[in-house]
Amino acid sequence: MKKIFAILFIGTIFAACNQTTLTKETSIDLGAVKTIELHVTGMTCEGCENSVMEAVNEVDGVTEVAASHTKELTTISYDTTLTDISKLSAVIDNLGYKVEGLAQHSEPEE
For the cut 60, the answer to whether the pLDDT of residue 19 exceeds it is: no
pLDDT-based confidence at residue 104 (cuts at 50, 70, 90): confident
Nearest to 49, CA basis, from 26, 29, 30, 72: 72
CATH class of the domain comprising 30-102: alpha beta
Q: Per mean pLDDT, which range of 5-14, 24-33, 50-59, 72-81 is the poorest?
A: 5-14
Q: Which of 96, 53, 59, 57 is nearest to 73 (CA)?
A: 53
Residue 5 CA to residue 13 CA, distance in Å, equals: 12
Whether residue 40 has pLDDT greater than 50: yes
| 59 vs 2: which has the higher pLDDT | 59
Angle at 55 between CA 84 and CA 76, to 5 degrees: 45
Q: How confident is the model at residue 10 (pLDDT cuts 50, 70, 90)?
A: low
H/E stretch holding 93 reads: helix 85-94
